[in-house]
Amino acid sequence: MIEFPGPTPKELGYSFPAEWKKHRATWLSYPHDDSYSWPGTLSRIFPFYNRFIRELSKNEEVCINVRDEVLRDKVAADLQMLEVDSSRIKLLIHPTNDAWCRDHGPAFLVRPDHLDPKVIVSWKYNAWGDKYDHDLDELIPGLVSKYLGVPVFYPGIVMEGGAVEFNGTGTLLTTAQCLLHENRNPGMLQHEIEDYLRSFYGVEQILWLDEGIDGDDTNGHIDDITRFFSESGVVTMVEPRRSDANHKILDENLRKLKSFRLRDGKQLDIAEIPMPKPVIYDGQRLPASYANFYIANNAVIVPNFQCKEDDQAMRLLEECFPKHKIIGIDSVEIIWGLGSFHCLSQQEPDIAGALPEAQ
């Protein structure tokens, strides 16, 4: 057991709420000309990215990190053209290297009965193993904490928001391929990483899948394969085409999910969603997956890929989220950046709506 130098969020009673709990806001980092993603195609993503913002703003505030005043003014004008309610948009000059706020953004934990009901955990961020520049991205949680006036914890190890998934009642789902990869925290053992997860996310149980999908530059993020839709239910991707590189990976993940038991001894309720038709760009397989949806207040934003599988995925997610509007947005241009709507966003919980439901 690792001995931490001070009280951890868990020791202080904080925990990470499920994504479907009410948000105060969604945080984004707006793409810009110096972004390393979308080489040669950046301008083509904005109709879809800005529609994402518009849909989010219908039910919650959208806080957007922008590089500078010039970009701030351009984004404000573009959103005005889309008739986005400007009172729901906060444009903050917080420079970033790129747009992947799920991974470099703040992790919000809550304890509604505390003097500080909300805190931020700022993990180290190394752009998935020092693959890209990340000096600005790593500063974002600290800037957000100053803006909101909330305390911040610095665990000191590398962690990414897309690598972890929560049911809101003490269970965390992740993959060994990502968290145990040598380019994240070399020399750390699984039980040591679990100590950090429990202590700084406020969870009790950690469930490990093996690998992520083909084309995933992050080395196995969970948000491309399996997501909680309730405290005991998960959506998981499956690949029916046996010749596809993802078939064996996802079949093994499904087998493991069926073997898991939650803290109360229950099996998971598993909803299987077939993968989209492979998306290839410039000879490269891209990590196109319906699991990269984002659960907003009253809506679930789902990446679509211009294939027949889109409709089936939307119908299945309607069954999983009967109280939410299911909104599909074309992600063919966005996925060239190797991520989609969940990768781009990070939820900030609303304190009043963050408590677990009574059992």
Of residues 3 and 300, the one with the higher pLDDT is 300
pLDDT score recorded for residue 353: 63
- Nearest residue to 230 (alpha-carbon basis) of 252, 262, 260, 206: 262
Q: Which position has the token pair 């925990």?
A: 15
In this prediction, residue 4 has a pLDDT band, given cuts at 50, 70 and 90, of confident
Residue 153's CB: how many other CB atoms inside 10 A?
A: 23
pLDDT in tens, 34-83: 999 999 999 999 999 999 999 999 999 999 999 999 999 999 999 999 99
Residue 133's CB: how many other CB atoms inside 10 A?
A: 12
pLDDT at 357 over 80: no
CB-CB contact of 215 with 182 (8 Å)? no
Residue 186's CB: how many other CB atoms inside 10 A?
A: 9
pLDDT at 25 over 50: yes
pLDDT score recorded for residue 359: 33
What does the mean pLDDT of the chain come to?
96
Residue 76's CB: how many other CB atoms inside 10 A?
A: 16
Q: Give 207's strand partners.
A: 173
Q: HEC profile for the chain?
A: CCCCCCCCCCCCCCECCCCCCCEEEEEEECCCCCCCCCCCCHHHHHHHHHHHHHHHHCCCEEEEEECCHHHHHHHHHHHHHCCCCHHHEEEEECCCCCCCHHHHCCEEEECCCCCCCEEEECCECCHHHHCCCCCCHHHHHHHHHHHHCCCEECCCCECCHHHCEECCCCEEEEEHHHHCCCCCCCCCCHHHHHHHHHHHHCCCEEEEECCCCCCCCCCCCHHHCEEECCCCEEEEEECCCCCCCHHHHHHHHHHHHHHCECCCCCECEEEEEECCCCCEECCEECCCCHHHCEEECCEEEEEECCCCHHHHHHHHHHHHCCCCEEEEEECCCHHHHCCCHHHHEEEEECHHHCCCCCC
The CA–CA distances, whole Å, from 85 to 48, 53, 80, 81, 243 equal 17, 10, 8, 10, 47
Q: Give 93's strand partners.
A: 66
- Nearest residue to 294 (alpha-carbon basis) of 7, 66, 115, 28: 28
The span from the CA of 170 to the CA of 205, in Å, is 6
pLDDT score recorded for residue 2: 82
Please give the structure tokens belonging to residue 295. Answer: 């659960």
Q: Which position has the token pair 């405290």?
A: 231
Q: Give 63's strand partners.
A: 27, 90
The class that CATH gives domain 23-352 is alpha beta
Q: In this structure, what are the phi and psi dihedrals at residue 294, rounded to the nearest 5 degrees?
A: -125, 130
Non-local CB neighbours of 308 within 8 Å, separated by 6+ positions: 277
343 tagged catalytic:
yes
Q: Give 108's strand partners.
A: 120
**What does the pLDDT average to over 268-281?**
97
In this prediction, residue 354 has a pLDDT band, given cuts at 50, 70 and 90, of low
The span from the CA of 203 to the CA of 210, in Å, is 20
pLDDT in tens, 259-268: 999 999 999 9
In this prediction, residue 358 has a pLDDT band, given cuts at 50, 70 and 90, of very low
Catalytic residue (choose from 63, 101, 178, 343): 343
